[in-house]
Amino acid sequence: MLGFDVCNSDRIGRILKSDRNGRNSRVLSFRRPHGVQRVSVLSELNIGDAAMVVALDLPDSVQNQLMHLGFVPDATVKALRHAPAGDPTVYGIDGMEIALRRETAQAIRVKYAELDLQDDEFELLEAGR
Amino acid sequence: MNPCCEVPAFEPPKSSAAALRTVVLIGPPNAGKSTLFNRLTGLRQKVANYPGVTVEQRMGLMAGVGRDDLTVIDLPGVYSLTPYTEDARVAIDVLKGKMPGTPKPDAVLLVLDSLHLTRQLMLAAPVLALGLPTLVLLNMSDLMEARGGSIDTLKLAKELGAAVAQISATQGTGLDSVRLFLNQVGTKNNGIDRQLLTLPVLGNAASTHTWAAQISRKTGYRAPLSAEGSRKLDNILLHRIWGPLLFLMVVIGVFEVVFSIGQPLSDGFGDLLSRAGELVRPLLPMGWLQSLVLDGIWKGISSILVFLPQILLLFLFIGILEDSGYLARAALIADRVMRTVGLNGKAFIPLLSAYACAVPAIMATRTIENKRDRFATILVTPFMTCSARLPVYMLLIAAFIPNRSYLHGFLGLRTIVMLGLYLAGFVAAMTTAHLLKSSILKSSETPFILELPQYRMPTVRALSMRLVDRARVFLHQAGTVILAVTMALWVLAHLPIVHAAQGGWSVPGLADSLIGRIGHLIEPVIAPLGFNWKIGIGLISSVLAREVMVSTMGTLYGADPSTHAESLQAALHSDVSLGGALALMIFFAFAMQCTSTMAVVRRETNSWKWPAVQFAYMLVLAYGAAFVVNHLVMALHL
């Protein structure tokens, strides 16, 4: 609902250019059009993906509580695993694991991290925060 | 003041020296406040590895650090000083000195988990702003260092304008700093110098987080690497297929062990108890005293005491689940089920701990944010099979269910019946919750936010504390309520004393005694359930507490000459039909027979309306279900 897709994008938000036959080729990052940023919501993250929190569209009390758990703007959040029933999902933030239901995660706007981080790099980044 | 020390240059103002009386422990949930409280006081407050174990303030004297002139208050965990839940409101009121009946704190011990310090520091801002003398304790410092984290505590103390110390409450290290801090509070002014301190706009989470992040950067805080072990374990325990399967296997395994190991233990213990009774017999004069002590009191009390080993085994398992951190995962697995009935997954934690006892479970519902969700959880909690039902089930199952086993001995018929009873309670709880949530307690869905703590190895110390406490509660119950009930029953069973035909006085037969007459009076009401009048008396006395049922049966069958010499199991087996026995088990699964639970429901809901409705609803359900079961068994000619 909040995404403004300018071009296609792959699952971590890199801009893709598609030709007429539908084949995608990745736009090199230095050629990424200025000012275009892939914005999404937390529930859209695939397991293993990391993103940065942009804003929370939730009632004040819930928002406050989530912020005290580390869901503040610019914090890096990673989708870790789904519960066996598929929902809720466990997110890693600030070195902690927090489980949220889909409808809560849908109200948390995120932008995909600029870098395509490998798992171990994410660990380091998380540890350094 | 210590007279041997040098004479101070000036007398400290009396008011400040006398001021320090109450110290308060505050910190985020699961930061280890209760463990520290136990260290400081030498008391044994319940601790476990999930957020929200403590839901009310608790006071104790600081005997553990040699300052028994000071009171220390342990509080529920809070993330900020803006309350969203009932337990957080308690903490904040006590901290600000607004709680009636609790002294206003003079000093603060702020307990933070040093594994996640950046986030935890957010609480420091509003706490320091209170201006009370504060010592910041970085707990779990041993774990932080072991996992490669570090922090400059001197710098942190400077940034916060408060003393900082690293401790480990589980290991008991660093407690000297608390002693030192307490000795200093009265003598020199070490309140917070608020002018030197730049605090963020209070109440604004984003700015507080920025402030906390800045401080943790300035003090060179390096967070430890998150334990890989927890994630690897979760790969299995939260696996799509293995997760729920293991959950089920854990539950079945617990009952198998309670039966296969607990039953022989209980039998041996029972032998020991009856032999002890026989040893005493020659010491007592023949006649009514011997009958009262041995056939009345001892038969009644020992019939319930024999279940102590099995109850302790159950508590050991619940303790391991709670202390390891698995409970939060169970709540995650169960969220899906909970949401279909309209409850929050968080309600699952109180419901699971109700397997031990409904009273603390109902108190634990204070962590549920939404009031309607909380009330619905309170109302269905007594359906969960608490440990007081265990003796009743054990007695009836041992007497009526043959000891057959299936799957090469992995699954016994008795275990299946027991699991069925647990399942019946759970289904009743879920169905009732659904009814409540779709009618009188309807509310918009509240978000499910659950912190998953890292797994921890349960310590022998913590587990044995739980068991000792539980054993004490059990023995206390046996020594008070059950003792009183058995004595009253024995007296009623021997009155009125009649003039015997041959001259002299004699006691009436059991059926003609007062208790027999009361029993026969109510028999028509319970006969459709397959219950005889003795069970009727048991049902009345077990309104006090469920396990009183067993001791009542022990006393009544002990007082009856025809079953006097038999064991309770054998006596029941010959006196009650299978339909009646199964109906009795179902009746106990659904009925609300516990005055302590009713009292706590009344306190937590602040009205007699809810416990009254709950009692009536559960009674009707229990009666109906028992009726159906009894008639079903009769129709099938089992």
Is A30 among the domain residues?
no
A5 occurs within a structural domain? no
Span B381-403, pLDDT tens digits: 999 998 889 889 988 998 898 88
Mean pLDDT of B616-637: 92
CATH number at residue A101: 2.30.30.90
Contacts 24+ apart (CB under 8 A), B414-419: B414/B259, B415/B252, B415/B255, B415/B256, B415/B259, B417/B585, B418/B255, B418/B259, B418/B393, B419/B251, B419/B252, B419/B255
pLDDT category at B584 given cuts 50, 70, 90 is: very high
For tokens 């989708």, name the residue: A79
Compute CA distances B337 → B217, B277, B372, B430, B508, whole Å.
Answer: 43, 50, 18, 9, 56
Among the residue ranges A116-120, B404-408, B529-533, the one predicted with the least confidence is A116-120
**Mean pLDDT, rounded, for B253-277:** 82
Q: What is the pLDDT of residue B45?
A: 67
- Assess if residue A114 is contained within a domain: yes
Of A67, A86, A96, Cβ closest to residue B451 = A96
Write the ipTM: 0.75
Cα–chain-centroid distance for residue B256? 22
B450 contact residues in A (CB cutoff 8 A) = 88, 98-99
The band of B502, judged by pLDDT with boundaries at 50, 70 and 90, is: low
- Whether B466 and B46 have beta carbons less than 8 Å apart is answered as yes
Quote the pLDDT of residue A116. Answer: 46
| Structure-model confidence comparison of residues B299 and A4, the more confident one | B299
Put simply, the answer to whether B452 touches A62 (Cβ < 8 Å) is no
Is A104 inside any structural domain?
Answer: yes
- The more confident residue out of B504 and B171 is B171
Check pLDDT > 70 for residue A122.
no
**Residue to test with chain B: of A57, A64, A102, A121, most B Cβ within 10 A:** A64
Comparing CB atoms, the residue among B116, B339, B449 nearest residue A94 is: B116
Cα–Cα dist B195/B542, whole Å: 63
- What integer pLDDT is reported at residue B384 of this predicted model? 92
pLDDT in tens, B344-386: 777 888 888 788 888 888 888 888 878 888 899 999 999 999 8
pLDDT tens by residue, B111-150:
999 888 888 888 988 888 888 888 999 998 888 888 888 8
Who wins on pLDDT, B9 or B340? B340
The mean pLDDT of chain A is 70
Q: Is the pLDDT of residue B589 over 50?
A: yes
**Mean per-residue pLDDT over chain B, rounded:** 82
State whether the Cα torsion B188-B189-B190-B195 is positive or negative: negative
Q: Is residue A70 part of a domain?
A: yes
Q: pLDDT-derived band of residue B612, with 50, 70 and 90 as boundaries? A: very high
Q: Is the predicted pLDDT of residue A13 greater than 60, yes or no?
A: no
Average pLDDT over residues B273-281: 85
Q: Which residue has the higher pLDDT, A11 or B399?
A: B399
Tell me the nearest-neighbour CA distance from A17 into chain B, angstroms: 36
Cα nearest neighbour of B120 on chain A: A68
- The arithmetic mean of pLDDT across residues B494-515, rounded, is 68
pLDDT > 80? residue A121: no
In this predicted structure, the answer to whether residue B439 has a pLDDT above a threshold of 80 is yes
Distance between CA atoms of B478 and B485, rounded to whole angstroms?
A: 10
Is A123 part of a structural domain of the chain? Answer: yes
| Residue B6: DSSP 8-state | P
- Higher pLDDT: B360 or A5? It is B360
Instruction: Please give the CATH topology (third level) of the domain spanning B14-218.
Output: Rossmann fold (3.40.50)
pLDDT digit string, tens, across residues B166-190:
998 888 888 888 888 888 876 555 5
B18-73: pLDDT as tens digits: 467 889 999 998 888 888 888 888 776 666 666 667 777 788 888 877 777 888 88
Given a cut of 60, whether residue A98 has pLDDT beyond it is yes
Confirm whether A54 is domain-assigned. yes
Confidence of residue B13 (pLDDT cuts 50, 70, 90): very low
Residues of B whose CB is below 8 A from A100? 447-449
Summarize the confidence of residues B439-447 as an average pLDDT: 79
Is residue A11 a part of any domain in this protein?
no
**What are the tokens at B230?**
């927890």
The total number of structural domains that make up chain A:
1
Q: Positive or negative CA dihedral for B27, B30, B33, B36?
A: negative
Overall pTM > 0.90: no
Domain housing A123: 38-128
Q: Determine, for residues A128 and B222 on separate chains, whether the beta-carbon distance falls below 8 Å.
A: yes
